[in-house]
Structure 1
Amino acid sequence: MNDLSTAPKTGDRTGERTATVYRMVMDKHICPFGLKTLHLLKSQGYRVDDHHLTTRAETDAFKEKHGVKTTPQTFVGGERIGGYEELRRFLGKPVKDPKATSYKPVVAIFGMGALMALATSWLASGALLTAMTAELFIAISMCLLAIQKLQDVEGFATMFLGYDLLARRWVPYAYLYPFGEGLAGGLMIAHALDWLSIPIALFIGGVGAVSVFYAVYIQKRELKCACVGGGSNVPLGFVSLTENVMMFAMGLWVLLT
């Protein structure tokens, strides 16, 4: 099963598509990409000849023989296709570009914020759409966005300094921002300490909105948004502006009601 002496030859003699996969299957490690490769091939109707690389030495020997740096490796008709991403390309499946811009993180955060707001409103009042729902949506979304930033405050601060007007004048503000956003959101969920949550929301929301508007719509700069953390590929613009306007509006709403 683990003979590496010759390149695998898999054919189509019976009309069934076949493929050979070499993947790491060890006592303390089973390659996740190997499992994904098997699933992908089988879902596309391939019969898979599954070869396990059970030791580090066996894996290294396989890599050296075939001149590859990673496993799993897939072969079809005696031809090496490559790793998991190369297999997806071979099968005509989309491959994620790590540098491509994406709004998925924002959709996930606001989607979960909306779901949590609806669920909490239903629990508290027996109704889905109430004034409380809108308040909770904004406050919960603030907390979820703060979580993204707090996972890597250093990365967030670096990206944030690229466009925030106040942070450029006082760098520590870039490090304080995620904590302020999370604190204000949590207090607003509880309707507690309005004297603290309202000024924070009005201040960081107002400064943020002005900074984003100036960078995007006045200077016409193309930047990445730090709103969902320093490692995101979300373009700076409407999303970040909306986040800050929501915070400012929430602070104003709590102040006036």
Structure 2
Amino acid sequence: MTKDSSKTTADLYRMVMPDHLCPFGLKSKALLERQGFEVIDHPLRSREETDAFMEDQGVETTPQTFINGERVGGYDDLRVHFGIDPPKEERSDTSYTPVIAIFSVAALLALALSWHQYQTFLTLRAAEWFVSLSMTFLAMQKLQDVEGFSLMFLNYDLLARRWVRYSTLYPFAEAAAGILMTAGALIWLASPIALFIGSVGAVSIAKAVYLEGRSLKCACVGGGSSVPLGFVSMTESLMMVLMGIWMPLKMLLL
């Protein structure tokens, strides 16, 4: 490996083949440059060259980065090296990132729609849109892998355990209610759906988490979720309950 007394020089070995440009190699190069390193790029242009490099270095993957002749490792190792991520053994197996992204985008869209319709952000309709759009986005996450969602959902939902088919119907029902409430159409249909699935969900979550103290993953953002069952899933259910009550009530009042 190239040795340099300068702390700003790094050697990067990455696959650059006609049919494969390693994305982790590109990310490693960009990260090193952002950190102020001058990158000495060593493209591995064939499978044979890559295999020979890995065998010589005793590694199983590329890219590989060397700083001052010392091997740091791949892209994930670089992120740990620069303090961006904690070491693997210290990482949590839970993440709220998908939920934060969904609620943030739903809130911004609700405000945008309010501005478009009423030339102001602070409207009651914006709050309604926030909830209905959140329901729709959460349903969309579930619909990407209905089977995976249903397997997680069956761990705690009381109705799904008695009627398994409900676990596959749930995301479609949530999407339908969310879309109709966003449009303000067929509230006589959307509200009972939201009220029903929200109520069953809230009772199921309360029993599993707060009464039985079970530690489960939430199916709220689909199968394979790393969001813990509890506050987020309860919030989702209660939002549907409130919308199920409010929307028809508003029609009667107004």
| CA distance in structure 2 between the aligned counterparts of 1:130 and 1:163, rounded to whole angstroms | 36
Number of aligned residue pairs: 248
1:153 maps to a residue whose letter is V
* 2:213 counterpart SS class: coil
TM-score (norm 2): 0.93
User: Structure 1 residue 79: deviation in Å?
Assistant: 2.2
Corresponding residue SS for 1:25: strand
Q: Which residue of 1 aligns with 2:37?
A: 46
- RMSD (Å) for aligned C-alpha atoms: 1.5
Partner letter of residue 170 of structure 2? Answer: Y
CA distance in 1, matches of 2:106, 2:80: 35
1:21 and 1:50 in contact (8 A); partners too: yes
Residue in structure 2 matching 1:37, options 24, 28, 33: 28
Alpha-carbon contact 1:85-1:95 (below 8 Å) kept: no
For normalisation by structure 1, the TM-score amounts to 0.92
Q: Which blocks of at least 5 consecutive residues in structure 2 are unaligned?
A: none
2:181 matches 1:211: no
**CA contact 1:187–1:194 (8 Å) conserved in 2:** yes
The answer to whether the 8 A contact 2:133-2:178 is kept is yes
Distance (whole Å) between structure 1 residues aligned to residue 182 and residue 87 of structure 2: 36
1:68 CA displacement: 1.3
47, 52, 59: which is aligned to 1:61? Answer: 52
Partner AA of 1:66 in structure 2: Q
Please point out which of 181, 186, 198 is paired with 2:179: 186
Q: 1:17 aligns with which of 8, 23, 31?
A: 8
User: Which runs of 5 or more residues in structure 1 are unaligned?
Assistant: 1-7
Question: For 1:157, which of 150, 154, 157 is the aligned residue?
Answer: 150
Displaced runs of 4+ in structure 1, greater than 6 A?
none
Of 221-230 and 38-47, the range deviating more from structure 2: 38-47
1:56 corresponds to which letter in structure 2? R
In structure 1, what residue type is equivalent to 2:48?
A: A
Are 2:70 and 1:79 aligned?
yes
**Percent of pairs identical after alignment?**
59
Q: How does 1:77-156 map to 2 (within 5 A)?
A: 77-95=68-86, 100-156=93-149
State yes or no: 1:195 paired with 2:201. Answer: no
Cα distance 1:129–1:225, how it changes in 2: closer, same or farther (>3 A)? same
- Whether the 8 Å contact between 1:25 and 1:54 is mirrored in structure 2 is yes
Q: How many Å separate the matches in 1 of 2:205 and 2:113?
A: 32
CA distance in 2, matches of 1:130, 1:91: 45
**2:7 and 2:68 in contact (8 A); partners too:** no
Q: Which deviations, in whole Å up to 9, do the C-alpha atoms of 1:22-80 show, x marking residues without a partner? A: 10112232111111111222222222210001111211121122121110011122222
* Paired letter, 2:108: L
